[in-house]
Amino acid sequence: MTRQKRSHHKLKRAVAPYLYLTPSLLIIGLLMLLPMVTVIAYSFQNSAVLRRDPSFAGLKHYQAIFDDPVFWASLWHTLYFTCMSVIFHMTIGMVFALMLNNDRINPTLRNILRVLYILPWLFTAVIIAVIWRLLLEPNGVVNSILMQIGIIGSKVEWFSSPETALHAVTFANIWAGYPLFMVSLLAGLQGIPKDFYEAADIDGAKAYQKLIFITIPQLMPIIISISLLDFIWTMQVFPLIWITTGGGPIYSTEVLSTYTYKLAFSSYNLSQASASAVVILLISLGLTLFYIRYQKAR
C-alpha cells in the first residue's frame, strides 16, 4: 500500500462510525431530544400548540399544577401504585423463581410451569385491563368465588368504588408484571456457582441460611437494577388505568400519566399539561441517572 492510500484508508476509518450512526442520531435528535426541548418550551407559554404566537407565561403553569390538589393526589396514587407493584413483582418473581429452581420438581413439570408462569407477560396492557374488568365485574367470577368462600358478604364493585379502585388496579398490575423479575432471577439463580452451596452443606447450613447468606446476596445486583427499571416503567403506566378506571371514580385512581393526558386532551390545556409532563420527565431522569450510575459502578 502506498502512503497516500494508507492515509486515505485511515480517514475512512475515522469518518465511518459517524456515518453508521447518522440515521440513529438523526432520529434520536429530531424525534426525542428536540421534542423534549419543545415540551419544556411549551410549559412556559400561554396556549401552547393552540396558538401560533404564544406569549411567555413564566412559571404560571407550574404554579397552577402545584396548587391543584388533584395533582398531589395523582402523585400519591402513582407512588402507591408503583411501590406496591415493584415490591410484589419482586416478591412473587423471587418465590416463583426459587420454586422453579428447586430440584424436587421433575424437569418436565418445571419446563411446563416455567412457560405457564410467564403467561401474564405475553399480554398487552389493554388486554390485561379488559380481562381484569371481566373478572372483577360486580357479577363476575371473582365476586362469585369470594362470596362462595365467605370472604365477602355482598358484591363488591372493585373498579367503581373509591375505596377499592386503587387497590384493584394495583393488583391487576402486580399480576401483569412479575414475570420480568421471575425470568431475570431464574437466569441469575442458574449463574450462582454450585460450590457455594456445597461448601455451605459441609458447614451444615440450613436451607433458610443458604437463602439469606448465599442466594439473596448473589442476586442483589439483579434485584436492584430490575427494581429501578420496574419503578421507572411502572410510574409511566397509562393504558391499564385508562381502560379499567380512567382515573376515577372521583380521581381515586388518577395517576400522573392520566392526569397529564386529561389536561392535554380532555381540557386542551396543553401548556399546563406540558408543565406536568416536564415534572414527570424530571422524576424519570432523576431515577435514570441513579440507574446509570449504579450500572456503571458495578
Partner 1 sequence: MRKRHTPKDRLITAALHVALAAGLFFAAFPIYWMLNSSFKSNTEIFALPPTILPKAFTLEAYAAILGDPVKLRFFFNSYFVAGAVTVLTVVIALLAAYGFSRFNFRGKGSLNTLIISTQTIPPITLLIPFFGLVVSYGIFDTYVALILTYLVFTLPYAILLMTGYLNTLPRDLDEAVAVDGGTSWTALWRVIVPISLPGIVATSVYTFLLCWNEFLFALTLTKSTSMRTVPIGIQLLMGQHAFEWNQMMAMSVLGSLPLLLIYLVAQRYFLAGMTAGSVK
The pair phi, psi for residue 192, each rounded to 5°, is: -80, 125
Residues between 52 and 91 with contacts to partner 1, criterion CB under 8 A? none
Given 2, 17, 203, 208, the residue binding partner 1 (CB under 8 A): 17
In our burial notation (b when 16+ CB lie closer than 10 A, e otherwise), range 115-149 reads eebbebeeeebeebbeebbebbbeeeebbeeeeee
* 180 lies in the site for partner 1, by CB under 8 A: yes
Site residues (CB under 8 A) for partner 1, limited to 240-279: 242-243, 256-257, 260-261, 264-265, 270, 273-274, 277-278
CB 181 within 8 A of CB 91: no
Task: Point out which residues pair with 56 in neighbouring strands.
Answer: 45
d(CA 239, CA 255): 11
- The amino acid occupying position 236 is Q
Sign of the dihedral defined by the CA atoms of residues 119, 124, 127, 128, in that order = positive
Decide whether 70 or 99 has the Cβ nearer to partner 1: 99
Closer of 64 and 118 to partner 1 (Cβ): 118
- Residue 214 contacts partner 1 per CB under 8 A: no
State the DSSP string of 256-274: HHHHHHHHHHTS--HHHHH
Contacting residue, 31, 149, 202, 297, with partner 1 by CB under 8 A: 31
Task: Report residue 297 as a C-alpha cell.
Answer: 459502578
Asked if 107 interacts with partner 1 (CB under 8 A), we say no
Least distance (Å) between residue 163 CB and partner 1: 23
Q: Is 297 among the residues that bind partner 1 (CB under 8 A)? A: no
Task: Tell me the closest approach of the beta carbon of residue 80 to partner 1, in angstroms.
Answer: 18
192 touches partner 1 (CB under 8 A): no
Residue with Cβ nearer partner 1 (84 or 135): 135
With CB under 8 A as the contact rule, the residue among 11, 59, 134, 216 that binds partner 1 is 134
